[in-house]
Amino acid sequence: MQHSLSSQIGLLLRFAQAAVWGDLLDTFKPFGFRPQHYAALKIVDSKPGCKQQDLGGALGISRSNLVMLIDELVEQKLIERRQNLEDRRSNALHLSARGRALLPELDRGQQAHEGRLASLLEEGEQEILVALLRKLGKLRKLDVT
C-alpha cells in the first residue's frame, strides 16, 4: 500500500468530525441541548408550520428518533406541536415566543463555533471544504425513514 494510515480519508474524516462535533456539543451544552436541537429550531424558524418529518431529512434522524428530540424542545417550551388542519395526521411545528427569543443567543454560540473553525482555515478554504464535503455525501444517500 502506498498510503500511510494517517492519510486514509475514512479515519481522517472520522477524527475531524469528532473534533468539530465535540466543539459543537460544548457550544450548546450550556443551553442544555445538542447541535441537533439548534438545527431543529433553525428549521422550524425558517419553515413555520412544517411537520416533524421535514426535519428528518435535514438532520439525518429517523421519524421515530425525532419524537424524543422534539419532545425535549417542547418540554423546554421552545417549540409547539400544533394541529395541522389540512392533514390531521401530522403536527405543525412552530417556535414559541420563548424559542424565538432564544435564537439570537444560540446564533451567537454557533458563530463563535464557526469562528473557531475559521481560525484553523485559510481564507477561502471554508468554501472549498463545504464543496468537498457535499461531494463526499453523495457516496451514500442516507435514507431517513
Residues that bind a second copy (CB under 8 A): 1, 3, 5-24, 35, 39, 42-43, 46, 58-60, 107, 110, 113-114, 116-117, 120-121, 125-126, 128-130, 132-140, 142
| CA-based radius of gyration for the chain | 18
Helix axes 97-120, 9-28, angle to 10 degrees: 140
Quick one: what does residue 15 bind among DNA, a second copy, none, with the CB cut-off 5 to 8 Å set by partner type?
Answer: a second copy
> CB of 39 within 8 A of CB of 110?
no
Selection from DNA, a second copy, none that 8 binds (CB < 5 to 8 A by kind) is a second copy
Q: By C-beta, is 1 or 68 nearer to a second copy?
A: 1
* Minimum CB distance to DNA, residue 110 (Å): 18
Least gap, CB of 68 to DNA (angstroms): 7
Contact assessment for residue 13 and residue 21, using Cβ atoms and an 8 Å cutoff: no
Residues that bind DNA (CB under 7 A): 34, 51-53, 61-67, 70-71, 81, 87-91, 145
Which entry of a second copy, DNA, none binds 70, CB below 5 to 8 A by partner kind? DNA
> Which of DNA, a second copy, none is residue 100 near (CB under 5 to 8 Å by kind)?
none
Q: What's the CA gap between 88 and 99, in Å, rounded?
A: 24
Nearer to a second copy, 18 or 97 (CB): 18
Q: Which long-range contacts (CB under 8 A, 24 or more apart) does 30-33 make?
A: 30/109, 31/102, 31/105, 31/106, 31/109, 32/76, 33/72, 33/73, 33/76
